């Protein structure tokens, strides 16, 4: 039996991973195009720091493409090559699966605002409550690195040598958390949704400069944030509008979007991305595996 679910990749948040898991192996992807196959290595039974009782341990076995998965799943006799049964079981399931998978990581670890101890920025998540003790007590939020998600700076900013927007936002969050930052686990319930920043980072900053930095970060992250489940229509719509500046990433991730607020806009972005792919080289950044190994 295959257990299929999705989980946010963090820290830092880089997208929503899709995971298909059997009792012997698992397959993970963030865009449905490239999959990482892990074989079950064993189960950790120690309860010391860094280990959780009955926590599964995996080793990476292979990277495979969507086209390879469909080809192998369609060839029931595997005439072209011998395929490990653990991989065959997963590929058969993935080839017929509907995406995205349901969300499973309802346990969330949030950095807190120093003023009122309210959720400030999401640090990481987990699926089962028993996994929480295996995470470090890490009261620090990190931005998605500029090498993974470059944010364009103005000529004036470049001339002044200001650091990437990513790290400016990281500093703002650290200052808002205080010199003795605190973090807390929450189990998200539907009645408590309003307590949590829907885009995983507080947007109500006291001064306009800080607000604009935060918005630039969120807008650039919009193709990834659109993978989140449960967004209000207004939030999804503004993310889709912001994503117009990065249509190649929209084309990469759109199959994992649980909803679309403006279908006409989404189709237009995908068409533009296809046209650009005919003349522009595929961005090297798209070949990154973007945090799959964090799981």
pLDDT along the chain (295 residues), means of 10: 95 95 95 94 56 69 91 68 84 95 96 97 94 88 94 95 97 98 86 80 96 98 97 98 97 97 98 90 60 41
Residue 168: per-residue pLDDT: 98
The DSSP code sequence of the chain is --EEEEEEETTTT-EEEEEEE-SSEEEEESSSSEEEEEEEEEEE---STT--TTEEEEEEEEEEEHHHHHHHHH-TT--SS---HHHHHHHHHHHH--SSPPB---EEEEEE-TTT--EEEEEEEESSGGGGGGS-------PPPTTTS-----HHHHHHTPPPHHHHHHHHHHHHH-SS--EEEEE--GGGGGGS-TTSB----SSHHHHHHHHHHHHHTHHHHTT-SS--HHHHHHHHHHGGGGHHHHHHHGGG-S--S-HHHHHHHHHHHHHHHHHSPPPGGGGS-TTGGG-
Residue 81: per-residue pLDDT: 61
Q: Whole-model pTM?
A: 0.89
Residue 291: per-residue pLDDT: 43
């Amino acid at each position: 039996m295959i257990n299929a679910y999705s989980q946010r990749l963090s820290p830092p948040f880089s997208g929503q991973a899709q995971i298909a898991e059997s009792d012997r192996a698992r397959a993970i992807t963030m865009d449905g195009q490239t999959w990482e196959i892990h074989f079950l290595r064993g189960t950790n039974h120690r309860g010391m720091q860094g280990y959780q009782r009955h926590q599964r341990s995996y080793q990476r076995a292979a990277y495979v493409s969507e086209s390879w998965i469909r080809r192998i799943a369609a060839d029931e006799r595997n005439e072209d090559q011998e395929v490990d049964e653990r991989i065959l079981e997963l590929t058969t399931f993935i080839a017929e699966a509907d995406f995205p998978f349901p969300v499973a990581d309802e346990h969330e670890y949030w950095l807190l605002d120093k003023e009122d101890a309210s959720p400030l920025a999401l640090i990481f998540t987990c699926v089962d409550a028993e996994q929480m003790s295996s995470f470090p007590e890490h009261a620090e939020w990190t931005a998605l690195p500029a090498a993974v998600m470059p944010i364009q700076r103005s000529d004036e900013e470049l001339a002044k040598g200001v650091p990437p927007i990513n790290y400016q936002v990281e500093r703002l969050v650290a200052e808002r958390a205080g010199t003795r930052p605190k973090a807390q686990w929450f189990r998200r319930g539907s009645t408590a949704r309003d307590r949590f920043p829907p885009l995983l980072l507080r947007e109500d900053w006291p001064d306009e400069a800080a607000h604009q930095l935060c918005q630039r970060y969120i807008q650039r992250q919009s193709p990834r944030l659109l993978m989140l489940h449960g967004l209000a229509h207004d939030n999804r719509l503004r993310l889709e509008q912001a994503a117009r500046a990065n249509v190649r990433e929209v084309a990469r991730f759109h199959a994992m979007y649980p909803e679309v607020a403006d279908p006409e806009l989404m189709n237009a972005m995908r068409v533009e991305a296809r046209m650009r792919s005919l003349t522009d080289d595929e961005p090297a950044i798209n070949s990154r595996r973007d945090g799959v190994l964090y799981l």
